[in-house]
Amino acid sequence: MGTYSAKDLQVLEGLEPVRRRPGMYIGSTTSTGLHHLVWEILDNCVDEALNGHCDTIEITFEKDGGITINDNGRGIPIDTFAKTKKSAMEVLFTTLHSGGKFSEDNYKVSGGLHGVGMAVVCALSESLTATSKRDGFEWTQSYSQGKPLTKLKKGKAVRSYGTSIYFKPDPKIFSNVKFNIQAILEQAESKAFLNKGLKIVVSGISEKKEFQYPNGIQDYIEKIIGKRPPLSDTPFYIEKDDKKMRLETVFQWTSGTETIIHSYANAIKTVDGGSHETGFRNGITKALRSYIERRKLLPKSINNITGDDVREGLIAIINVYLQGDVEFQGQTKGRLNSDITSQVESIVKHSLEHYLLENQTMGDLIANRVILSAQARIASRQAKEAVQRKTNISHRLNLPGKLSDCATTDKNKAELFICEGDSAGGSSKQARDRKTQAILPIRGKILNVQTATMAKVLANTEIQNIISAVGTGLSPKFDYSKLRYGKIIIMTDADVDGAHICTLLLTFFYRCLPELITNGNLFIAQPPLYRIDSGKKLFYAIDDNEKDQIIEKLNGHKYEIGRFKGLGEMPAADLKKTTMNSQNRSLLRVAISDSENTEKTFTQLMGKDAEFRFNFIKERAEFVHDLDV
């Protein structure tokens, strides 16, 4: 039996905990975590603007892969911090839980609350240089991996004030340190929308961008709505300023079915919602229910109006500014936990209900829109129940005829591979582990569920086979406990047709079985496109980039390249070794990091309106280097 004593304990000094466990501070070391570094610095600049000290922010993409963010605010303090005898700047960048936002004296409203943002960015950067303009001079200090490289340097005399921070993420922490320009442009634009009059300039890209909106979120909703037909000429706008909370919200119903709700707290995007969004949802639901009841508009065939009925076709932005202690969930601030649900609900309910009663023509129009949503919901549920009964009966009798099931009944070990066509199915059956791996071939490209009615979706043979094989059924009778396979793996050819089939399957799971994505059961296999033989050495490459890298590493040795035309033509041994054997394969887990952008992507790229796809292709055409036609 081993011993465990005080000598086995470790005390991590300084910012070492951040470098050891970065996920605790930025969520992950993926692209999401990488960009969280940018948001931390940008949010500090926005905090200066929120408190009336800054009106311009500039973001510059540097040629070395770093990024510089500066503002014309008050500048970072540079005087000596009494407890440590170090400059305030050095304390802020090298010490967790240090900052000026724990008190309301310096920042009445703030998005940065934990005093870890700048220190975390410093800890996870290969290099960082901070410059502060204040007290008549320019002050600079450089850092690397959370440690100062230089002392605070006094530079040239200046009359202006402001802060400039350059940093370059550490490749030892992040596998990919390349910033997504589009994501940063979108974030910069949203910050400008949320702060009326604030100018945010993005440079160092092919075309310099400048964002400034005098009407704030009222300009924002016009951009989001775009060409969707609105029910009213102008959006609903509510602004309420209380002692500890200022609420600003704008919303509008459209004739479409897509629901988009953007929520923010102190200019921080709360991607997971929270108390302010819950209050907003409750408020509009109660307002419409009350209006429909007072006007006696509800048909006898409908028992009640649900929140989903009210929100169908709704585009909304809700932004709250809170003073004092603001409670976010975790350092990444994805959800607001402050107890303001009832306060927001009351404001929204009374404001909207009063408007609808004062403008009954518009009120009836929106009410009828909500009632139609309820009728469609009931019809959809009845269609699902009919197919559910049929599926349950057939499931008791037998599973889909094309399914080659596995032997194990332990769903945690069982895997279902969905592949395209009988040919690929044949290769997969030869390559599989019969004990744990099941194969379900589907016939070509399945129905696009984004554009089809639920009745048509549920009548499709291929979709019926998938539902039957998976075993859970569909909402409202979805039962996760009846899931037959812990991993459901989409396995299609590594070509354009394969990508299209994969996309159609993803659309099906996202729309009809979203719980499998939420619970982490859905995966995408990564079959190779190339086989490279060099003497006794054998390599596989997923794409052209990986192929080129392998060839470069061969250093001139002779090689032969074979391209797999599809899984059906891939030898079973190759398929097993590269794609199905759990010891060697690579699987991509399907997850949703941003529910709003995911919804938008499926709606625009898989929906009926071709204009979105046309614009998407046109905007990105210049970045395509190798088109597979």
The catalytic residue positions are 420, 493, 495, 497
**The token pair that represents 378 in the structure block:** 């009931």
| Number of C-beta neighbours around residue 267 at 10 A | 22
β-sheet bridge partners, residue 61? 67
In the chain, the amino acid numbered 603 is T
Cβ within 8 Å of residue 343, ≥6 positions away:
242, 245, 279
As separate numbers, helices (DSSP H) first and strands (DSSP E) second, the chain gives 20, 24
Q: Is 230 within 8 Å of 253 (Cβ atoms)?
A: yes
What b/e readout covers 242-263, taking b as 16+ CB neighbours within 10 angstroms?
A: eeebbbbbbbbbbebebbbbbb
Q: Is 216 within 8 Å of 250 (Cβ atoms)?
A: no
Residue 450's nearest CA partner among 512, 519, 492, 370 is 512
DSSP secondary structure letters along 124-136: TEEEEEEEEEETT
Residue 359's nearest CA partner among 271, 472, 233 is 233
Residue 137's nearest CA partner among 118, 162, 100 is 162
Structural element, H or E, at residue 57:
strand 56-61
Residue 169's nearest CA partner among 332, 43, 26 is 26
